[in-house]
Structure 1
Amino acid sequence: MHREVTTVAELRRVVGEPDHYVANKVKDRLSAVQRDWLAHSPLGFVATTDAQGRVDVSPKGDPAGFVHVIDDRTIAIPDRPGNKRVDGYLNVLQRPQVGSLFVIPGRGDTLRINGPARILADADYFDAMAVKGRRPLLALEVAVEEVFFHCSKAFLRSDAWKPETWNPTALPSVAQIAKALRYDWADAELEERYCEENIRRALY
């Protein structure tokens, strides 16, 4: 039997009410410790929606500190060469509101930043986001409407940062997955295309 939750009242009956601190921890500007978090984070995720409400989440990563803090109310996330699908950017052109989450490997807590975004092809801070002499192709500039730290329970439950729990070979390689989806490519061609060495050559 399914028991669907369809109202706020039902939801609150199941999960209860947050305590005062949790309910009021959301701010509209970065604090010093949140700026410091971004300076040490090498990885983030950006969620967007299109005009029909369909959601996309895209990972963003670079050396730690890749997010450029313009001021306490604005950040910029660089974009590097990729597969050219630009799903998230197409969504931002339709609905500018984005949600983002930034992680630090080994830490269970995360930093969440939400707000309206715009896509820039150049700005006076692009040089500051260069890696290996390569400026970003684009930047997603986000106005901070909501910023807050999220607790570590999900990472603690999953043991995500414990190497002894990792088993990446339990699944097929990227090349093998591509082969399952594209029957017209030879195995050797796929292995060459998706080997880490080749992917790293095209990172910037």
Structure 2
Amino acid sequence: MRQVTTEAELREIVKEPPQPIWDKDIARIDQHARTIIAHSPFVLLATSAPDGTCDVSPRGDPPGSVLVLDDNTLALANRPGNRRVDSFRNVLHNPHVGLLFLVPGMNETLRVNGSATLVSDAPFFDDLVVKDKRPDLAVVVHVEELYMHCAKAFLRASLWQPDTWPERNSLPSLGRISKDQMGLKGVPAKVLDAGLALDAKTNQY
């Protein structure tokens, strides 16, 4: 392998972009960003630990569940999950986060970078209620960078085109994956699948 170890080497391969590419970072939540956030049911939250190890966590909720508190601040509710709290442990030690907002059918994405804090209660928690469930924790993000990402990645992936999707039965189930990866001998994959499906259905909020 021929490694690239300096930014100068990198720029020999990937040339400097035109100035408008840098200028598109507006560092605030304008009306267009508000519209995209309001329509996004899915956001990826990227964090990193003090030692530099990274984590990306998917966050899903009905559209409009991510709150825009003001032009520089937004809030995401915590929902039931595996309780590893990898993202939250990272935020406690390193507040820098990245967010990627997706809207089904839209090939462009909204990228947000900033600093985060964890909040256990606030008046806006009432606005984070979904299915009568009030969250016990939220991530509040102060926006430092905000810009749109072009459609090329999604177009190359044909992400929203169902005719390109694989048949689900051509992929292993989560029960099968868990059984094999964790060495769960004596437990049928279909039993694990049933338990995982029930938890996913009944423990969303």
User: Scaled by the length of structure 1, what TM-score is found?
Assistant: 0.95
- What residue identity is the alignment partner of 2:187? A
In 1: Cα distance, 2:43 partner to 2:23 partner = 24
Retained in 2: the 8 A contact 1:81–1:137? no
Retained in 2: the 8 A contact 1:179–1:185? no
In 1: Cα distance, 2:186 partner to 2:109 partner = 40
Using a 3 Å threshold, how does the CA distance of structure 1 residues 198 and 52 change in structure 2: closer, same or farther? closer
Map 1:64-143 to 2 at 5 A. Answer: 64-143=63-142
- What residue identity is the alignment partner of 2:204? L
Q: 1:67-108: CA deviations, max 9, x gaps?
A: 110001000011101111000000001100101100001111
Task: Say which is worse superposed, 8-17 or 108-117, in terms of deviation.
Answer: 8-17
| Alignment match, 2:177 | 177
Retained in 2: the 8 A contact 1:39–1:65? yes
Gaps of 5+ in 2: none
In 2: Cα distance, 1:110 partner to 1:191 partner = 33
Q: 1:39-80: CA deviations, max 9, x gaps?
A: 000000011011100000000010011211000100001110
Gaps of 5+ in 1: none
- What residue identity is the alignment partner of 2:18? D
Q: 1:146-192: CA deviations, max 9, x gaps?
A: 00000111110011111111113221111111111231462243122
Same amino acid, percent of matched pairs: 45
Which of 182, 188, 191 does residue 189 from structure 1 map onto? 191
State the aligned residue count. 202
What's the Cα RMSD here? 1.2
Is the partner of 2:176 in helix, strand or coil? helix
- What residue identity is the alignment partner of 1:62? D
